[in-house]
Amino acid sequence: SLSVSHHEEFIMETLAENLGLQLQSIMLGAENLRLRREAKALHEINKEISRLADLDSVLENITEKACYLLKAENCYIALADEKAQILHVRVNYTTRSQVWRTWAFKYHPGESSLLRADGYIMRWHHLTYPYGEGVGGLVAQNLSSLLIRNSREFLQNVTASVPEKLATGGIAAAIAVPMCTKRGLIGVLCAASCKNNAFNRAQLKLMETLGNQAAIAIENAHNFTEQKALAKKLRNSIATHERLLSLVLANQGIQAIADTLANLIGNPVVIQDQEEQVAYLAGGTEMATGVPYVRAPIVAGKSLYGYVTAFAVHKPITEEQRAAVEEASIVLALEYLKQDAARAGLLQHVITAQEEERKRIARELHDETSQTLTALMLGLDTLGLLLHNVPAEAISRLRALKSLAEGMLNNIHRIISDLRPSLLDDLGLFHAINWCCEQRLKPVGIKYETNIAGLEQRFPSPVETALYRIVQEAITNIIRHAKATEVAIDVAFDKNQLILRVEDNGCGFEKELFTNADSSSKSLGLWGMKERVNALKGTIDLETSPGCGTVITVTVPDAEGIGGEED
């Protein structure tokens, strides 16, 4: 037998101790190297995902890098819906291993896939599972990390439902961590391998660190997406507001606003008054019923003008449509306020015009009729004396007094006709227009032509009165401002529409006078025409420019069925 001396035993123990220390040093060095490599990799990953703003790009980068760091064969990210307690699987990265590729495309083929250098990226938008189901579901439910070294041992101790691949033994090991921020659970990061004991506690810590970085990057991407959507919504809202407001500034009217809104949102639009009666309709022939809708009140200050409503007939109601309807309600309130201001100015003009008309009539009665009556009374007194003394002179004086009385009667008839011609009531619109041209245009040397088509019947008095007043106002403007030598007036009735057209060859004017009521008599006169036409639910169109004459076209729909009061 061999004997070992104490000295040799000491040497051997010393060598063994040195070898142990060297081995420990090597292991510590390897661990330190691993930690440094992981820290560097995490730093690089953090830098890379921090630069990304697109959510899908962030998710794809994280899953790919997680597979690389953990030497896993599969990795996916599921985003959390805390309110619904559901996980939405968004991105899955699978290595080029034939086993994993076959499994991935068999169980979850994905809605789109991308080929990468070392694997496949698959995207989903509709793959979901509830909290508590599967590896990721358990992590989401418990908000704690999960390390599965051996799937068979894990399945013997778990009661939750698990993925088929895990249950059938295709997945041997898995690791999953929650991704959380101050807002709560963002999602779950999962990795898997087909080898037992593929993951350890150190890798779990690495996965948790990566999960924390991923949570911040995902939240930043979410914020960027939300800000981008908000900016787009704001741009759309501003564009809608500017487009609708331009109609107000151009005095296109409420119907034009309704038509434009209907075109913008692709659905019918109804504008109602305070009593919720339909005032304007666009994008359809009648008010839709039984379909979803979005509605906004038209309010200015404390005044409610009505409501604007969009119906989901052709397209579903979206947030953009809601925003467009709200913008339209603001613009419509401005339009109603503008119309109120215009009516107030028009009313003041009408009151002033009425007072001027009363003064003119009083002056004419005083200057002509009153003086004529005084002269007639004095003449009758003189005639009484002459009848007894100079009969022949009395007869001559009687003839003169009769002529004076006839002139006074004609003057009274003229004043009455200026107020309202009896021809309008007795013979109708066309004859009244002819009389007005004869009385107003002929004396000032303006040639005129009147034409009629399809007017075999009379129309309701409010219609005839309004159109006669429009012709009267147009002739007044022609005499005062147009410097015209020729005027043509056409009246036609076709397809239940009454159409009036007044054209002159005068100097014309800027069309803004028609769309902007100011203090001038011409502008207010034109606005008066618009108000008369609006009362008949008709339309008025004006074509003019300096030096090119003027054409006024009035169209009254359903002219035979209009009732109401005259002015």
% of residues, the chain, pLDDT over 90: 21
Beta strands 146-148 and 112-115 are unpaired
Rounded Cα–Cα distance for residues 482 and 504 (Å) = 8
Contact (CB, 8 A) for 508 and 545 = yes
Across-strand partners of 539? 555
Residue 188: is its pLDDT beyond 90?
yes
Average pLDDT of span 61-90: 88
In 3-state terms, what secondary structure has residue 2? Answer: coil
Rounded Cα–Cα distance for residues 73 and 92 (Å) = 11
pTM of the model: 0.49
Residue 81 token pair:
């819906």
Rounded Cα–Cα distance for residues 563 and 379 (Å) = 51
Q: Which amino acid is at 395?
A: I
Across-strand partners of 299? 304
% of residues, the chain, pLDDT over 70: 71
pLDDT tens for each residue of 403-447:
777 777 666 666 666 666 677 778 888 888 998 899 889 999 999
Rounded Cα–Cα distance for residues 489 and 175 (Å) = 90
Residue 353: is its pLDDT beyond 80?
no
Q: Greater confidence, 158 or 399?
A: 399
N residues, the chain: 567
Residue-averaged pLDDT of the chain: 79
Contact (CB, 8 A) for 467 and 554 = yes
Rounded Cα–Cα distance for residues 267 and 282 (Å) = 9
Beta strands 303-311 and 293-300 are antiparallel
